[in-house]
């Protein structure tokens, strides 16, 4: 086949044939299609979309570009969760051990942060000694001994997606719903989990800004999962304000441990329990209530074993940033808004995130939120504490927060419900 013919077909709004899709993914993975040609095809897909058959075939071709994992050696069913990313989204940290404490095995392949969205692996790497890179055999050992593992995907898992994602990131094609859906689902299906729950974020701090777009993405991914025999459910959840109070790496680990200890912010607890119930139901497990597993300490026990099994010290002190700066309420009244995107960009500029995948991150950098939208505040009351290793970072972070905070005397926040919808 010829790359130009495939590009022209999608440019002109035609449906790509299975043979065209198989060839394009295989040839690009092998290096037989030039980067500029795949860039053109990705842009044509962004502009003209794909139908369900095309998305299913594209996903299948990416799965077949690498290995498929399996967990038949385990004595319990498997369930996984994927979040489309947000600000303060630390849910994976308490969720994986919680679901494991209730009887499922959780093989959680996670990623790193980019831009204003945090990465699960970056957060966990703030724990001294913890390792993200595990072999397949090590993953199985950790799963068998603890019930949960959170680690990086190996290079053999959907290599076509790894290459295509990097290209989309620099060509303005990240937002394509077919390409987002196939990227996520190719890795999750190749991972071999028996059930999958998708947490599709909606709002300023998410890739999907509107409920309509988030629903389209969720329905596309659920369809891909079902077409591949994977029991898949999606929740649409709010990302118009930060989740919890902590935004940053070590800060979010500390907050996650508070949740596992039976405390923590109400929104983190609510969403963690909701997702845990969905995962257990999708895996066919009934019995133990996830809320009880947080209260009785069994989820904390799994967390400690999981962290230790991956080389980490669950009792170690976490890194702390050298400098802090307090942002106070400009007036008295009701905190009507705390924009997730603004807070996320500020945390990124403080050092908690990265602009490029190869950039380092600061374990201690980030933001602690001392009030949530809907709270009544007084003038001069601390709203945020900024944490950074270098005080010179505060100026740019404060610029990102300009307009992100709203306080009105008799205002009322216009917020999305934490759980907006369920797609199954």
| DSSP string over 350-368 | IIIS-SSTT----SS-EEE
Q: What is the pLDDT along the chain (424 residues), one digit of tens a residue?
A: 899 999 999 999 999 999 999 999 999 999 999 999 999 999 999 999 999 999 999 999 999 999 999 999 999 999 999 999 999 999 999 999 999 999 999 999 998 887 788 899 999 999 999 999 999 999 999 999 999 999 998 888 999 998 998 898 788 898 899 999 999 999 999 999 999 999 999 999 998 999 999 999 999 999 999 999 999 999 999 999 999 999 999 999 999 999 999 999 999 999 999 999 999 999 999 988 999 999 999 999 999 999 999 999 999 999 999 999 999 999 999 999 999 999 999 999 999 988 777 788 999 999 999 999 999 999 999 999 999 999 999 999 999 999 999 999 989 999 999 999 999 9
**What is the pLDDT at residue 324?**
98
Query: Quick count: other Cβ atoms within 10 Å of Cβ 369?
Result: 22
**Count of beta carbons in the 10 Å neighbourhood of residue 296:** 14
Residue 334 near residue 375 (C-beta atoms within 8 A): yes
Cβ neighbours of residue 160 closer than 8 Å, sequence gap 6 or more: 25, 26, 28, 29, 61, 62, 65, 66, 186
d(CA 342, CA 420) in angstroms, rounded, equals 22
Between the CA atoms of 387, 370, 330 and 243, what dihedral angle is there, to the nearest 10 degrees?
Answer: 90
- pLDDT of 263 reads 96
Q: Which helix (H) or strand (E) holds 336?
A: strand 333-338
In this prediction, residue 247 carries a pLDDT of: 98
Nearest Cα neighbor of 405 from 310, 326, 349, 352 is: 326
Q: State residue 116's pLDDT score.
A: 85
- pLDDT at residue 177, as a whole number: 93
Which one of the listed residues 81, 163, 168, 393 is annotated catalytic? 168
**Which residues of the chain does CATH 3.90.1170.30 include?**
323-408
The string of DSSP codes covering 3-35 is: HHHHHHHHHTTPPPPHHHHHHHHHHHHHT-S-H
| Tokens, residue 277 | 């119930």
Task: At 304, list the tokens.
Answer: 């400690």
Q: In angstroms, rounded to a whole number, what is the distance separating the alpha carbons of residues 60 and 121? A: 27
What's the pLDDT score for residue 118?
86
Dist CA 210 CA 399 (whole Å):
25
Cα–Cα distance measured from residue 336 to residue 301, given in angstroms and rounded to the nearest whole number: 38
Compute the distance between CA of residue 389 and CA of residue 397 in angstroms, rounded to an integer.
13
| Residues with Cβ within 8 Å of residue 335, at least 6 apart in sequence | 329, 371, 372, 373, 374, 375, 376, 377, 383, 405, 406, 407, 413
Q: How far apart are CA 79 and CA 102, in angstroms?
A: 11
Token pair listed for 230: 């994977």
Buried b (16+ CB within 10 A) or exposed e, 326-339: ebebeeebbbbbbb
pLDDT of residue 390: 97
Catalytic-labelled residue, pool 81, 187, 201, 215: 187
Give 186-244 as a DSSP string. HHHHHHT-SEEEEEEEESTTSS--SHHHHHHHHHHHHHHHHHTT-EEEEEEEE-SS-SS
Q: Locate CATH 1.20.970.10 in the chain.
A: 3-49
Please indicate whether residue 387 is annotated as part of the active site. Answer: no
Number of Cβ within a 10 Å radius of residue 32: 12
CATH no. of 80-309: 3.40.1030.10
Selecting among 161, 199, 227, 267, the annotated active-site residue is 161
Distance CA 244, CA 368 (A): 9
82 is catalytic: yes
What pLDDT is stored for residue 277 in this prediction? 98
Q: What is the DSSP letter of 281?
A: H
Let me know: does 415 contact 240? Beta carbons within 8 Å: yes
Q: Which of 65, 83, 110, 183 is catalytic?
A: 183
pLDDT value of residue 385:
98
Q: Torsion over CA of 381, 385, 390 and 393, rounded to 10 degrees?
A: -80
> How many Å apart are CA 146 and CA 79, to the nearest integer?
14
Structure confidence by residue, pLDDT tens digits, 63-81: 999 999 999 999 999 999 9
Domain 3-49 is of which CATH architecture? Up-down Bundle (1.20)
Which residue has 């990416």 as its token pair?
62
Close Cβ partners of 137 (under 8 Å, ≥ 6 residues apart) = none
Architecture of domain 323-408: Alpha-Beta Complex (3.90)
Catalytic residue flag (residue 81): no
**Token digits for 159?**
């290599």
Residue intervals in the chain for CATH 3.40.1030.10: 80-309
358/422 Cα distance (integer angstroms): 36
Q: What angle do CA 104, 263, 232 make, to 5 degrees?
A: 30
């Amino acid at each position: 086949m010829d790359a130009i013919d495939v590009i022209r077909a999608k440019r002109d709004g035609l449906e790509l044939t299975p043979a065209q899709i198989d060839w394009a993914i295989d040839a690009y993975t092998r290096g037989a299609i030039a980067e500029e040609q795949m860039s053109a095809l990705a842009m044509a897909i962004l502009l003209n979309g794909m139908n369900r058959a095309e998305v299913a075939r594209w996903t299948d071709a990416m799965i077949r570009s690498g290995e498929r994992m399996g967990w038949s050696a385990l004595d319990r069913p498997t369930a996984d969760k994927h979040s489309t990313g947000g600000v303060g989204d630390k849910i994976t940290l308490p969720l994986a051990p919680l679901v494991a404490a209730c009887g499922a095995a959780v093989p959680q392949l996670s990623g790193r942060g980019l831009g204003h969205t945090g990465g699960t692996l970056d957060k966990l790497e703030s724990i001294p000694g913890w390792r993200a890179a595990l072999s397949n055999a090590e993953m199985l050992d950790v799963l068998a001994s603890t019930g949960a593992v959170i680690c990086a995907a190996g290079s053999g898992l959907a290599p076509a997606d790894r290459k295509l994602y990097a290209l989309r990131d620099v060509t303005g094609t990240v937002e394509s719903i077919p390409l987002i859906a196939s990227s996520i689902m190719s890795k999750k299906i190749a991972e071999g989990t028996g059930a999958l729950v998708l947490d599709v974020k909606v709002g300023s701090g998410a890739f999907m800004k509107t409920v309509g777009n988030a629903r389209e993405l969720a329905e596309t991914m659920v369809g891909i999962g079902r077409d591949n025999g994977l029991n898949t459910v999606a929740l649409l959840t709010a990302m118009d304000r930060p989740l919890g109070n902590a935004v940053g790496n070590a800060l979010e680990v500390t907050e996650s441990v508070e949740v596992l200890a039976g405390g923590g912010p109400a929104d983190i607890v609510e969403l963690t329990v909701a997702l845990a119930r969905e995962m257990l139901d999708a895996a066919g497990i009934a019995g133990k209530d996830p809320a009880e597993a947080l209260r009785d300490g069994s989820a904390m026990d799994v967390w400690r074993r999981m962290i230790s099994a991956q080389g980490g010290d669950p009792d170690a002190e976490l890194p702390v940033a050298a400098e802090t700066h307090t942002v106070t309420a400009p007036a008295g009244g009701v905190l009507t808004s705390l924009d997730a995107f603004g807070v996320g960009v500020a945390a990124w500029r403080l050092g908690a995130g990265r602009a490029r995948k190869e950039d380092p991150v600061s374990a201690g950098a980030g933001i602690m939120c001392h009030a949530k939208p809907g709270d009544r505040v007084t003038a001069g009351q601390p709203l945020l504490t900024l944490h950074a290793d270098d005080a010179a970072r505060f100026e740019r972070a404060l610029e990102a927060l300009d307009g992100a905070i709203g306080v009105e005397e008799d205002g009322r926040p216009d917020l999305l419900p934490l759980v907006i919808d369920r797609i199954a």
